[in-house]
A and B are shown apart, each in its own frame.
Chain A
């Protein structure tokens, strides 16, 4: 009884202590919060949320503006401070410009007209849907300090990789030394054993001189006959193989004037083949894209992302290749305009059918609906383009024999398909049965 009373007293004292502790803790926390909130409000007195601003910026502004680079419109880093310091323009002006720049230009505002003329009269899209808060957020994003380059991290990882290489070399070197020591040991053991043998007058048996294997072989006529037949057959095989590959360029992988990676464009970024090679849809040729097609994207993509670089090809290398494109097409990246000084790129042709064979891309791409990869192989994985297929006649014919003609949604084939399926007694016609083996189809 006595004991339980005591314990009750103890717990109540403990509880009191806890209560006291909680009270001091909350008081401390509260004062701390107050302190921090004062600091924050003074720092970000009228500033918005740069994270929200970034997503707004990327969705609405980034088509024409970047933070540190002139694009269709000016660079926007610290635009608010710059405007107020250099031009004496405040947030009211900026709001008016962002929500309807053309109205501001028409009103005769001096700076608005100046900037409009400076950017060759490209009108900025009006954003009347932006609230004051949205604009504040965006400006908060543009007012952020430029982030330090990530190069330091990259070099650090590179060093790490190099260390890996060094350790491998070390292991190999140690192994080589070990083998050397072993060989030396064997040699020494042999030498001492021989010395012991001569000291103890033990005769070491000399190897018996036998008829050499070569001579025995030559004297055996049956073996010689078999060998001769074997040599004749194998040389015929090699000569045939040599003649059959004359004029076949399978695997041809020339060095192009600009290192264009199909892997990055068609593979990683999933750009359709026909985006660049648009004439494959409608003409005999699958055309090489004119450089303005490159500029559709590379007007805004002036450098590769750090994640694009590989061990073999660095970011600097890829950026240099984009510079080559700018040089060829005459694009002044700093001024964001064409200089008119163009240098055609001399691409090296890879796939080249002989003049006596006719091939039409549109017939295969648009009518037959073949995938480009059927003949050109896994282009989306090729860092450097090469010829995947042999492009020989046997290869063409083989495909014509195996491939069914695509007749769906093609009224042109209705009649002939009906007639020929009856004639051959089949459900589906192959290209060969449709005349795909006629000499005159390709040779005329």
Chain B
């Protein structure tokens, strides 16, 4: 009878050991001070920042390196001037249709469709409705860029997902799609 109680004790120890395994909390670390960074990490929470939030916008009135100002305002007038005045700064030789297509299919194709006819997967599944075909709208490269930058109506801004050069590549690709749709 003694041996039975020993077996029970052993089984209990095993059960408690395995039940300590918990997927909701991270594992132990060996010398955690080698794991944790000393510098500030992206998305970190540190007291020196406002709201303890490391992720911050650029200080007002400043521009990050490699970025430039966009001078058209997010209004109907801004849209109208961009439509008529804004021209792509990228020479046609530097246009990379392959990259434009790749970016378009990640960011735009999901609603506008990979052909630009407004039949993306979200539209086909009736999650988002009323996405027009590029052929049905009087748009220019300026207005395309403007809408990528600010968004329009239900469409949001893609300024933080694509940088300036990428936005122009996508704009150029949208124009080729539109030309093909108009044929």
Binding site for B on A (CB under 8 A): 57-65, 71-72, 121-123, 125, 129, 214, 245-249, 251-255, 268-272, 274-275, 278, 282, 285, 287-288, 290, 292-293, 295-297, 299-301, 305, 344, 346, 349, 352, 354-356, 386
Q: Which residues of B contact A352 (CB under 8 A)?
A: 26
B29 in complex: contacting residue of A64, A247, A290, CB < 8 Å: A247
Chain A residue at minimum C-beta to C-beta distance from B108 = A275
- Give the distance in Å from the alpha carbon of A305 to the alpha carbon of B26 in the complex: 34
- Contact A355 B34, beta carbon cutoff 8 Å: yes
**Complex: A123 Cα to B74 Cα, angstroms:** 13
Find chain B residues with CB under 8 A from A254 CB.
Answer: 24-26
Whether B132 pairs with A63 at a CB distance below 8 angstroms is: yes
The reply to whether A253 and B23 contact each other, CB–CB distance below 8 Å, is yes
Given that A275-B110, A292-B160, A297-B122 are contacting pairs, would A58 and B27 also be in contact in the complex, using a CB cutoff of 8 Å?
Answer: no
A-B interface contact total, Cβ < 8 Å: 129
Enumerate chain A residues within 8 angstroms of B70, measured Cβ to Cβ: none
Q: Which residue of B lies closest to A278 (CB)?
A: B161
Tell me which of B26, B34, B75, B132 has the highest count of chain A C-beta atoms within 10 A of its own C-beta. B26
Query: B129 near A299 (CB under 8 angstroms)?
Result: no
Q: Which of B96-132 contact A (CB under 8 A)?
A: 105-107, 110, 118, 121-122, 125-132
Nearest CB of chain B from residue A122's CB, rounded to whole Å: 7
A356 touches B34 (CB 8 A): yes
Contact size class for B? 35 or more
Q: How far is the CA of A274 from the CA of B99 in the complex (A)?
A: 14
7 closest A-B pairs by CB: A63-B130, A62-B129, A62-B130, A296-B156, A354-B35, A355-B37, A278-B161
> Which among B23, B45, B160 is the interface contact of A252 at CB below 8 angstroms?
B23
B106 close to A245 (CB less than 8 A):
no
A129 to B99, CA, bound (A): 35
Complex Cα distance, B3 from A2, in Å, reads 112
Main secondary structure of the interface of A (DSSP, over half): loop
* Residues B1-46 near A (CB distance < 8 A): 3, 23-30, 34-38, 42-43, 45
**A61-B154 contact given A255-B24, A269-B125, A290-B160, CB 8 Å threshold:** no
Chain B residues positioned under 8 Å from A249 (CB to CB): 26-27
Q: Nearest-CB distance from B90 to chain A (Å)?
A: 18
Q: B29: which A residues are within 8 A, CB to CB?
A: 246-247, 354
> B179 contacts the other chain (Cβ, under 8 Å)?
no
B153–A122 touching, CB < 8 Å: yes
The residues of A that contact B132 with a CB separation of less than 8 Å are: 59-60, 63, 125
A275–B127 CB distance below 8 A = no
Q: Please state if B154 and A300 are interface contacts (CB–CB under 8 Å).
A: yes
Nearest chain B residue, comparing its CB with the CB of A213 = B3
Q: How far is the CA of A9 from the CA of B110 in the complex (A)?
A: 75
Bound-state Cα–Cα, A62 to B118, Å: 12
Q: Is A301 touching B153 in the complex (CB atoms < 8 A)?
A: no
CA distance in complex: A274, B157 (Å): 16
